[in-house]
Amino acid sequence: MDWKRFGFIALVVIVLFSAVVMIGQVKQPPLLIVTSMLATTIAVATPLTLGALSGVYCERAGVVNIGIEGMMLSSAFFGWLGSIYMFHIFKMSAGLSIALGVFFAILTGLLMALLHAVLSITFKVDQIIGGTVINILAVGLTGFLNRQLFFGKESVFGGSVPSSPGVLPTIHIPLTEIVGPICGASASCLENLTAINRVFDQKPIAMGAVLLVFFSHFLLFNTRWGLRTRAVGEHPKAADTVGISVTKMRYANVLIGGMFAGLAGAYFTIESVPSFEPLLTNGRGFISLAAMIFGNWTPIGAWAAALVFGASQAMLINMQIFRDVIPPQWAFLQESYIVGLTPYILTMFILTGIIGRTTPPAADGVPYEK
C-alpha cells in the first residue's frame, strides 16, 4: 500500500468524522463522538473486511470471485437458521446454539465456495458467470427457504418466525481497569479513558476479523503456502513445472475464501442483529470487492479500504442520532437515501484509478489449461 492511497483513505475518514463532530458537538463532547464513531466503523467494517479477505485469497490464487455477496447472504441465512434450529428443535442452550450458528455459517460459505471452485476450476466456466450463478442461487434459495420455513404452516416452526437465541456478546477489554490508576483522582481523565475503551470493546467476529487481517498478511507473504498461492495466481505454468499442483492450491484458497465469506455472513445474523430478511447483505459483497481492488489485493490494504466504507456507514448511523441538531443549510444530511449514496459513489470513484492504478494477479480469472 503506497502513501498516496493511504493518504486518500486517511483524508476521507477525517472528512467523514469531522462532518459528524461538527454537527454533533452541540450535543456531545467531540472525544465521545469520535470514539463511538470509531467503534461503529470497526464493527460495521467487519463484513467488508472479511469479504475483502475472501476475495484476496481467491484472487491471489487466480480465481475471480464475484460470488462473495451470494456466499455472505446464504451464510447469513443458514447460520441464523442453524442457531434457531439448535435452540428450538434440539433444545440446546442459547450460547451453544449461537456458537453452532457461526459454525453453520462458515460451513455454508465453504459449500458455496466449493460450488464456485467446481465451476471455475474443474469445469472452467467463465468465473464471473460462475460468481453470478452463486449470487442468483443465494437469492433464490434463501428467499424460498425463508418463506417456506417461517411462513409455511406445515413447517417445523409452525408458520411463524421463532425467537432467536440472541447475538454474540461484546467482549470487554479491561483497558480502563489497567491504565486507570495513572489518572489518579481526575474524573475527566477516567471519563475519557472509558470513552477510548469503547473502541476496543468489540464483538468476537469484529475482533477476529482484525486478527485475521494480520494473520492473512503473514500467511500470504511470509510462508511457503503464501508463496505457492501467489505463484499459481501469477504464473500457474511456472508453478506447475516446479511441482506445485495448481488445481489443489486454487481449490484450497477458494475454500478458505468461502469460509471467510461465511464468517462475514455470520456477522449479519449472529453478531449484528438476530434476524434475517431477504437480500439483507445489500451489496456489501460487491463493496468488499472494491475494497480488495483498492487495497491492491493485499490484506492490510483491503482492510484500510474496508474501514473507509465502514466510516461512511458509521457517518450515516450517527447522522440519524444527531438528526435534530443538523443546521438548516445542511438539511440534505437528514436524507438517509442521499447520505446512503456515499459508499457507492466512493466505490466508483476509487475504481477510476485516480488514486493510483492497481494491478491484479497476472493469471486472475484465467482457467488453467495444462
Partner 1 sequence: MQSEKQSGSLTRQILQSISEASLVPFLAILTAVIVGGIVILFVGGDPILAYRGLLQGSFGSTKALSETAIWATPYIFAGLAVALAFKGGLFNIGAEGQLAVGAVVSALIGYALPEWLGFDVPAIIHLPLVVVFGVIMGGVWAGIVGALKAYTGGHEVINTIMMNYIALNTTSFLLNGVMKDRSPTNVIARTPLIADSARIPPIFEGLRVHWGFVLALLTAFFIWWLLTKTTLGFQIRTVGLNPDAAKYAGINVKRIVILTMALSGMLAGLAGVIEVSGLNYRHELGFSIGYGYDAIAIALLGKSHPLGVVLAAILFAAMRNGATRMQFLTQMPVDLISMLQAFILLFVAADAIIRYIYRIKSKGERVVLTRGWGG
Which residue bears the cell 479513558?
Answer: 193
Cβ closest to partner 1, residue 123 vs residue 218? 123
Cβ closest to partner 1, residue 29 vs residue 365? 365
Distance in Å, CB of 64 to partner 1, minimum: 5
Cβ closest to partner 1, residue 161 vs residue 171? 161
Distance in Å, CB of 74 to partner 1, minimum: 11
Q: What does each C-alpha distance from 114 to 47, 109, 253 come to in angstroms?
A: 20, 8, 10
Distance in Å, CB of 28 to partner 1, minimum: 28
Distance in Å, CB of 366 to partner 1, minimum: 7
Cβ closest to partner 1, residue 187 vs residue 354? 354
Cβ closest to partner 1, residue 137 vs residue 326? 137
Distance in Å, CB of 332 to partner 1, minimum: 10
Q: Which residues of the shown chain bind partner 1 in the complex (CB under 8 A)? A: 64, 66, 119, 123-130, 132-133, 135-137, 139-141, 143-148, 151-154, 282-283, 286, 289-290, 293, 335, 337-338, 340-341, 344-345, 347-348, 351-354, 357, 360, 364-366
Distance in Å, CB of 367 to partner 1, minimum: 10
Cβ closest to partner 1, residue 26 vs residue 354? 354
Cβ closest to partner 1, residue 228 vs residue 284? 284
Distance in Å, CB of 123 to partner 1, minimum: 4
Cβ closest to partner 1, residue 3 vs residue 337? 337
3-class SS letters over the chain: CCHHHHHHHHHHHHHHHHHHHHHHCCCCCHHHHHHHHHHHHHHHCHHHHHHHHHHHHHHHCCCCCCCHHHHHHHHHHHHHHHHHHHHHHCCCCHHHHHHHHHHHHHHHHHHHHHHHHHHHHHCCCCHHHHHHHHHHHHHHHHHHHHHHHHHCCCCCCCCCCCCCCCCCCCCCCCHHHHHHHHHCCCHHHHHHHHHHHHHHCCCHHHHHHHHHHHHHHHHHHHCHHHHHHHHHHHCHHHHHHCCCCHHHHHHHHHHHHHHHHHHHHHHHHHHHCCCCCCCCCCCHHHHHHHHHHHCCCCHHHHHHHHHHHHHHHHHHHHHHHCHHHCCHHHHHHHCHHHHCCHHHHHHHHHHCCCCCCCCCCCCCCCCCCC
Cβ closest to partner 1, residue 98 vs residue 289? 289
Distance in Å, CB of 211 to partner 1, minimum: 28
Q: What does each C-alpha distance from 365 to 70, 116, 247 come to in angstroms?
A: 18, 12, 14
Distance in Å, CB of 180 to partner 1, minimum: 44
